[in-house]
Amino acid sequence: MHTQLLDKLFESVEFGKINLASPYPPAMKGLPGADEITKEALEAGISPDEILNGALIAAMDKVGKKFSEKKIFVPQMLLSAKAMSVSMNHLKPYFADGTVKRKGVFIIGTVFGDLHDIGKNLVSMMVEGAGWEVIDLGVDVKTETFVAKVVEYPGALVGISALLTTTMVNIQPVIEAIKAVSPDTKIIVGGAPLTADFAASIGADGYGKDPGEGIIWLDAQF
């Protein structure tokens, strides 16, 4: 019974079946989705840890691999991330009371001057699904906001994104300000116009060309 429910949840997240009402994917129309299955799994006595590790993290890992191999694209990945996020809502009380331990805290935001958030949102959801607590600062995030959050969450890792060549230059002063107050804070950057060489040149500790790469980097810091 337990294995069957975890397998069903894995499948719902892999293929982006959010809930019973969701028409996508067509092959799973009319079936319960991540929302209902997670609730059923908890009621059946499956531990939040088993749900997180046995279904959610495993499914998002598979989704990330399919994305990097270009077997699926951003719309499918967003649906998977949404299904995972709906499932995570049922687990949040267990994170809050310490029943389930997070790997760490990840602060993420789109740099000041840039209002793009699809990539950042996708990374946020994927990273949360990989077992991290995510503090999403949104878009057009001022330098002092990043710094204040780093002070508030000692030991947190930071992700900064930019989607425009005109705003990617704004990342460097943010990195410098963070490192000035917390030299040991590790920072990863990403976004369409960025490269690994650019990331290194502005003092970033890591570069993620896609969410999967970002998660691999984060887990290596854990």
Each residue of 169-211: pLDDT tens digit?
A: 999 999 999 999 999 999 999 999 999 999 999 999 999 988 8
Q: Does one domain contain both 119 and 197?
A: yes
Last residue of a domain, one of 68, 96, 124: 96
Kindly state whether residues 90 and 110 are assigned to the same domain.
no
Helices marked H in 44-142? 48-50, 58-68, 74-96, 118-129
- Residue 120 neighbours by CB under 8 Å, 6+ apart: 108, 109, 110, 136, 139, 159, 161
| This prediction's pTM | 0.82
Q: How many domains does the chain have?
A: 2
CB atoms within 10 A of CB 140: 16
Task: Look at strands 105-110 and 206-207 and give their pairing.
Answer: unpaired
The verdict on 161 and 204 lying in the same domain is: yes
Does pLDDT of 129 surpass 90?
Answer: no
Comparing 37-41, 42-46, 50-54, the range with the smallest average pLDDT is 50-54
